[in-house]
């Protein structure tokens, strides 16, 4: 049977959208993959950690994080459905500095840079505390730069494109500033995802204590990575969607039930605590850790920066853009495209309800139990501390329920994250001309290759740092500060300058888009500055 390329479309391959709510339900699914990606980092680990350090007072900020990013996600997907273009191809055309891709920017050079970075980080981590100084860090960074420069000179002098010789005689495609920034942030994404993989390893270490010897969580994380690799390499978009729908339903049900059960314990949440959390107030004492934890929660809950652009690829693979067909004059295409955009918005709305429910439940558990008992999930004891949310209120038997739910949550995040990351990396090769993006078989080969590369990098990241909360706090805050302003303002640019106006959003949606884009552009950068100001004593808040 011929493989259908979901990244291409024509006027002949269009399909009419479903009518009616129940018919629409049969065409949903991309959002559940996104939910599977969000919950492991943003909800289970970081949201509960924020509840543990702040109590109930920041519940309003948790809700803001869930609501404020939805319209950006949906409007990016609207443009994808209308244009059929991938996220990276679209953002590679944003206004700003652009130049042809350098000849040395090939897969071998990327591999050399990655290996050099991993080697430098490994050396720095293995040093004693006395030697982990700024000069040593700068020396290692300089060494990476030298290795990369030498590799660039060697590869550039060959004056060919190793991965795609057919393009060697043509002009190299343009790369704008965003593509460079996105490529540079990929290593941080690996560390971020490594925290989730390590969390899954810690869960298995709790289930089978000492089975793999000292540092068993490291080895368990590798086993989880192998399991995810087998599932992703043997599966398709459809199988991934079905698997994640089942897993998301299970962990959502477990989370809601456990939160409800707390009401029959000494940690029951009352209306005054909820009112304090919705009063838009701030914690009495503000610390660098609290600010960074709040930023990491904001970056990782709801549709995080990665899920915003990942969702556009899942919409393509689901067939929304292909079903809409290529734009053409007349009302037929307009009505068809609007119909599939309506399906997409239904998908977005339903999944927002799911992840908001889970996020609020995890935050309330952290605030009601961990905060009261002064327990802060961190380091190798992250999962052990999180399990106390259940054992402290329900008894030791509840640990089994938590471990089952935690493993499902973390497994879905690793699965969906690796699947999405591999698609973005393969698409990047097509956008910058290393492979032919119209060759779907080549795209699939590189998607499978990058599934393996991603999982290997996740494993290395956890092996080096072994502290999921800290890994998430640092990487989520940094990437969010860089990407959220670009995503918000870039979506505004697409809405007003590039979108086919026949499928433009309503005035109300446009106003909400402006509000959310401005909020995204402000919160993360301001939060980073505030954290630095508190850390260096420039301000004293409580």
Q: Report the alpha-carbon angle 403-407-409, nearest 5.
A: 115
Distance CA 386, CA 187 (A): 27
Sign of CA dihedral 473, 477, 483, 487: positive
Distance CA 81, CA 338 (A): 9
Task: Give 448-502 pLDDT, tens digit per residue.
Answer: 999 999 999 999 999 988 888 788 878 877 888 889 899 999 999 999 999 999 9
Helix (H, G, I), strand (E, B) or coil at 10: coil
Sign of CA dihedral 270, 272, 275, 276: negative
Task: Give yes or no for residue 541 having a pLDDT over 80.
Answer: no
Q: What is the mean pLDDT of the chain?
A: 86
Quote the DSSP letter at residue 68: T
DSSP string, 284-322: SS--HHHHHHHHHHHHHSSS-HHHHHHHHHHHHHHTHHH
Q: If pLDDT is split at 50, 70 and 90, which confidence band does 15 have?
A: confident
Distance CA 101, CA 373 (A): 55
Sign of CA dihedral 237, 242, 243, 247: positive
Task: Give yes or no for residue 375 having a pLDDT over 70.
Answer: yes
Is the separation of the CB atoms in 320 and 343 below 8 Å? yes
DSSP string, 372-415: TTT----GGGHHHHHHHHHHHHH-TTHHHHHHHHHHHHHHHHHH
Q: If pLDDT is split at 50, 70 and 90, which confidence band does 334 have?
A: very high
- The structural domains of the chain, ordered by start, are 11-101+180-535 (1.20.1740.10), 104-172 (no CATH)
Distances (CA, A) of 119 to 254, 461, 468: 41, 11, 20
Overall average pLDDT of the 67-94 stretch: 93
Q: If pLDDT is split at 50, 70 and 90, which confidence band does 1 have?
A: very low
Q: If pLDDT is split at 50, 70 and 90, which confidence band does 393 have?
A: low
Overall average pLDDT of the 396-416 stretch: 79
Q: For every residue of 429-476, which 3-state class applies, written as one string? A: HHHCCCCCCCCHHHHHHHHHHHHHHHHHHHHHHHHHHCCHHHHHHHHH
pLDDT at position 161 is 46
Query: Would you call 353 exposed, middle or buried from its count of C-beta atoms within 10 A (0-12, 13-18, 19+)?
Result: exposed
């Amino acid at each position: 049977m011929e493989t259908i390329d979901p990244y291409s479309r024509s006027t002949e391959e269009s399909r009419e959208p479903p009518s009616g709510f129940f018919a629409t339900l049969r065409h949903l699914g991309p959002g559940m993959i996104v939910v599977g990606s969000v919950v492991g980092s943003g909800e289970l680990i970081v949201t509960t950690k924020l509840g543990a350090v702040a109590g109930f007072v920041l519940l309003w900020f948790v809700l803001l994080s869930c609501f404020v990013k939805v319209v950006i996600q949906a409007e990016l997907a609207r443009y994808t459905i209308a244009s059929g273009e991938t996220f990276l191809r679209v953002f590679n055309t944003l206004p700003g500095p652009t130049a042809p891709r350098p000849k040395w920017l090939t897969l071998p050079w990327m591999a050399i840079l990655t290996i050099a970075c991993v080697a430098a980080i490994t050396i720095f981590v293995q040093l004693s505390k006395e030697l982990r100084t700024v000069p040593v860090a700068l020396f290692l960074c300089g060494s990476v730069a030298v290795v990369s420069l030498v590799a660039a000179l060697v590869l550039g002098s060959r004056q060919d494109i190793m991965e795609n010789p057919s393009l060697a005689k043509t002009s190299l495609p343009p790369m704008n500033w965003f593509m460079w920034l996105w490529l540079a942030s990929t290593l941080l994404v690996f560390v971020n995802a490594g925290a989730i993989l390590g969390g899954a390893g810690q869960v298995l270490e709790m289930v089978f204590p000492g089975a793999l010897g000292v540092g068993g969580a490291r080895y368990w994380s590798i086993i989880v990575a192998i399991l995810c690799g087998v599932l992703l390499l043997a599966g398709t978009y459809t199988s991934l969607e079905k698997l994640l729908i089942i897993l998301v339903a299970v962990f959502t049900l477990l989370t809601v039930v456990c939160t409800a059960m707390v009401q029959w314990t000494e940690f029951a949440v009352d209306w005054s605590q909820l009112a304090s959390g919705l009063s838009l107030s701030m914690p009495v004492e503000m610390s660098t850790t609290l600010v960074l934890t709040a930023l990491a929660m904001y970056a990782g809950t709801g549709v995080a920066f990665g899920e915003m652009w990942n969702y556009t690829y899942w919409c393509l693979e689901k067939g929304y853009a292909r079903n809409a067909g290529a734009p053409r004059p007349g009302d037929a295409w307009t009505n068809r495209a609007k119909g599939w955009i309506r399906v997409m918005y239904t998908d977005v709305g339903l999944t927002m309800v799911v992840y908001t429910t889970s996020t609020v439940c995890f935050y309330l558990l952290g605030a009601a139990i961990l905060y009261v008992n002064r327990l802060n999930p961190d380091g190798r004891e992250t999962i052990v501390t999180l399990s106390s949310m259940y054992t402290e209120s329900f008894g030791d038997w509840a640990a089994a329920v938590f471990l089952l739910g935690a493993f499902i949550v973390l497994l879905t995040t690793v699965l969906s994250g690796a699947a999405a990351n591999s698609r973005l990396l393969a698409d990047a090769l097509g956008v910058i001309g290393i492979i032919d993006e119209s060759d779907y078989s080549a795209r699939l080969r590189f998607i499978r290759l990058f599934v393996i590369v991603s999982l290997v990098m996740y494993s290395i990241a956890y092996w080096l740092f072994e502290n999921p909360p800290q890994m998430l706090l640092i990487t989520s805050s940094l990437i969010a500060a860089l990407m959220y302003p670009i995503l918000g303002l870039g979506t505004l640019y697409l809405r007003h300058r590039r979108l086919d106006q026949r499928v433009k959003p309503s005035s109300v949606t446009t106003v909400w888009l402006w509000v959310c884009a401005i909020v995204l552009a402000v919160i993360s950068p301001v939060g980073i500055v505030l954290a630095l100001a508190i850390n260096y004593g420039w301000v004293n808040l409580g």
